[in-house]
Amino acid sequence: MKASVFIATSLDGFIARQDGSVDWLEVEETNEDFGFAAHMDSVDALVMGRNTYDFVASTWMWHYGDKPVIVLTSRSLEIPAERSAAVEASNLPPAELAKELDRRGIERVYVDGGATIQSFLDAGLVDRMSITTIPILLGSGIPLFGRSQQDIHLRHVNTVAFTNGLVQTTYDVT
């Protein structure tokens, strides 16, 4: 199983304000999807942290269709009936979850949520990261990256600058 990351950060590296708000993600409207559809087409399932799931499920339209979504949580998770066929909870560590997903025939997963991304990186399971930088400095918030158990080496794949000021850089994790 291979995992990829597709996420936006502020220029100073935050994925959300300290309270979890992402109001700063409101950017100039374009017809561009910034590669999201292509990324979704490239994955078989999603793995996200509980806070990310709670936020997405309560505030945004569901952009994942019927792809399986595994929510990493140690708390009880109520899943709405309309999503019950696709969403499940798991408390497995990343390496064990990867083995379970591989056993199910899931080859590519999209990993989302700061702590979840960090845990998959630490387990050596992330092979590609696309990070879209929003031209704003927040000064504080929830960082994309935290302390790591080891150096994580990256190889630049490409960088795209969009007309509205967003810059997307893709790296392979080596």
- Does the pLDDT of residue 59 top 80, yes or no? no
The predicted model scores a pTM of 0.92
Question: Hey, what are 127's tokens?
Answer: 């092979």
Residue 171 C-beta-side C-alpha neighbours within 13 Å:
13
Burial (Cβ within 10 Å: 0-12, 13-18, ≥19) of residue 119: buried
- Local confidence band at 29 (pLDDT 50, 70, 90 cut-offs): low
Question: Hey, what are 6's tokens?
Answer: 């597709």
Closest CA to 109 of 172, 174, 35, 47: 47
Helix 114-122 / helix 94-103 crossing angle, nearest 10 deg? 80
Q: What is the mean pLDDT of the chain?
A: 93
To the nearest 10°, report the CA torsion of 36, 50, 58, 12: -60
Question: pLDDT of 92-142, one tens digit each?
Answer: 999 999 999 999 999 999 999 999 999 999 999 999 999 999 999 999 999
CA–CA separation, 53 and 71 (whole Å):
7
- Does the pLDDT of residue 5 top 70, yes or no? yes
Q: What is the DSSP-derived secondary structure letter of residue 135?
A: S
Homologous superfamily (CATH) of 2-17+33-143+153-173 is Dihydrofolate Reductase, subunit A (3.40.430.10)
Question: pLDDT of 71-82, one tens digit each?
Answer: 999 999 989 888
Q: What is the pLDDT of residue 156?
A: 98
- Tell me if 31 sits within 8 A of 162, measured CB to CB: no
Which is higher by pLDDT, 152 or 61? 152
Percent of the chain with pLDDT over 90: 76
Q: What is the pLDDT of residue 60?
A: 67
